[in-house]
Structure 1
Amino acid sequence: MSTTLPTGAKIINGVKTFIPLENNPTVHTHLATALSIQTLAFHDIFTLDPPPTDETDPIWIPQTIGHACGLMAFLHCVLNLDAGAHLARGSDLAKLRDELVSLAPEDRARVVYEALFLEEAHMDAARGGSSGVPGPEEHNGFHFLGFVKGKDGRVWELNGGMPGPLESGVLGDGEDLVSEAGLRLTVGDFLEAAREVEGGGYGGLGVSLVGLVGV
């Protein structure tokens, strides 16, 4: 039994459920633009090879919306990157960040759950993927994680489906998340597992990456 909301989201078994986001830079940039973020864009990460030689705890939000792990990873990145400096002043998202900072995790989850502007922006962006757009009631076998580096160099894995933020290590001033050290602290294990599965003939383990950078 489900009820369709004006945005196209559905209430399924009593839980608001979205169309899953595709891990596609166009989709994420569309979502960012809809939420008044003008100085950031998402890009595909095509190689993790090293380039040629020539303070605070993060904002973490538990996920309580079905199929919204992509939105949660998006929020965890844009709300924490440079302490929210890229959010348009006075925008709904900037106001949301200001509200979330001082709240307990369960209260943050409630605020995000009830934020209609996020629901509208998510549902609009989710319809723009290059693959077939599933309905909110369809099974989704994928999951999003967000990784951020704080100003103090600490690297955080932010997953709304876990009990809290996970500190995975510290990077130096010259190291970013796609440096060799950064990969060890973030997606290295996932990529190695994907290689092993693909090499073992199990049909492959789908892993895709997008990076959030200044424009």
Structure 2
Amino acid sequence: MSDSRWIPLESNPEVMNEWAESVGLLEGSAEFVDVYGLDPELLAMVPRPVKAVILLFPLTGGIDDWRKSEDDRIAAEGQPAIDPTVFWIKQTIGNACGTIGLLHALANSDVAYVPESPLQKFIDLCKDKTPQERAHILDSTSLFASAHHSAASSGQTAVPSDLDTDLHFTCFVQAPEASARESQVGTGVRRLIELDGRRAGPVDRGESENLLEDTAAYVKEHVLSRGVSIHFSMIALAGRDSNSGL
């Protein structure tokens, strides 16, 4: 873990949109929006297409231990192969999970960036790097620390004097089956992938026909069931068009 420690980011679409546009997301190509609840009628209010979902949840009620035990199980037993183009960053900076969640959402979506923007350059630079090398680039680049600090300071909640927090961001995206890309034959089957820099790597959450609904189903079964319903929130990255495919 790096010695760096950032201000916790607020789960707020305005904060996230400010961060994204400050580093190069093309205005009007996509935006972060609230997901007001997990019931079908509330999910239907979210603009489509949904390109990524960011979840904020507390690492309490045994959920952190459960996630660590899941990493141990995956290391011992394996999981379905993850599409090799999925972009994942290891978190080494304290309280940087908000920025890493945003990077995971944008880097794994077909959104448009301002040409030669810092965000575009960072993603291009990291493509051929390991997750740890990407973490080092993030830690050694002042740009994202500054963007994070600015966004964290602009939220509705006052900046805390105590930077210790048990709240954590993770991100959900869709990806093709790894075998489909390897064979260069698209099967149409997509997988729900969880991207969390605190984990040992990306986690396959099963087949996915609808990113938002499938994420909501996962949250109901594995997050809310552990008693964290009061302290969770979801933000969706919604775009104007969808160019999915291999």
Mean Cα displacement is larger for which, 40-49 or 27-36? 40-49
SS at structure 2 position matched to 1:144? strand
1:44-55 alignment runs, 5 A limit: 44-51=34-41, 55=83
Paired residue for 2:69? none
In the superposition, the TM-score normalised over structure 1's length comes to 0.78
SS at structure 1 position matched to 2:17? helix
1:63-74 alignment runs, 5 A limit: 63-74=91-102
CA contact (8 A) 2:5 2:94 kept: yes
1:1-215 alignment runs, 5 A limit: 15-37=3-25, 38=27, 39-51=29-41, 55-82=83-110, 85-135=111-161, 138-151=163-176, 153-172=190-209, 175=210, 177-179=211-213, 181-185=214-218, 188-194=221-227, 205-215=230-240
CA contact (8 A) 1:87 1:94 kept: yes
Alpha-carbon offset, residue 70 of structure 1 = 0.8
Alpha-carbon offset, residue 40 of structure 1 = 1.7
CA contact (8 A) 1:155 1:185 kept: no
Alpha-carbon offset, residue 167 of structure 1 = 1.0
- 2:197 partner amino acid: G
Which protein, 1 or 2, shows the higher relative CO under an 8 Å CA cutoff with sep ≥ 6? 2
CA contact (8 A) 1:149 1:156 kept: yes
Paired residue for 1:9? none
Alpha-carbon offset, residue 92 of structure 1 = 0.9
Cα RMSD for the two superposed structures? 2.2
SS at structure 2 position matched to 1:94? helix
The alignment-based identity, stated in percent, is 31
* More helix, by proportion: 2
SS at structure 1 position matched to 2:40? coil
- 1:209 partner amino acid: M
Measure the CA separation in 2 of the matches of 1:26 and 1:67: 19
SS at structure 2 position matched to 1:209? strand
CA contact (8 A) 2:105 2:171 kept: yes
Measure the CA separation in 2 of the matches of 1:14 and 1:108: 13
Q: How many corresponding residue pairs?
A: 186
Alpha-carbon offset, residue 114 of structure 1 = 1.1
Measure the CA separation in 1 of the matches of 2:120 and 2:154: 24
CA contact (8 A) 1:48 1:178 kept: no
Q: Residues 117 and 205 of structure 1: is their aligned pair in 2 closer, same or farther, counting only changes over 3 Å?
A: same
In the superposition, the TM-score normalised over structure 2's length comes to 0.69
List gaps (5 residues or longer) in structure 2. Answer: 45-82, 178-189, 241-246
CA contact (8 A) 2:93 2:139 kept: yes
Deviation >4 Å, runs of 4+? none
Deviations 1:11-37 (A, max 9, x none): xx9711111100111110110110121
CA contact (8 A) 2:24 2:120 kept: no
CA contact (8 A) 1:147 1:186 kept: no
Q: Residues 130 and 14 of structure 1: is their aligned pair in 2 closer, same or farther, counting only changes over 3 Å?
A: same
- 2:37 partner amino acid: T
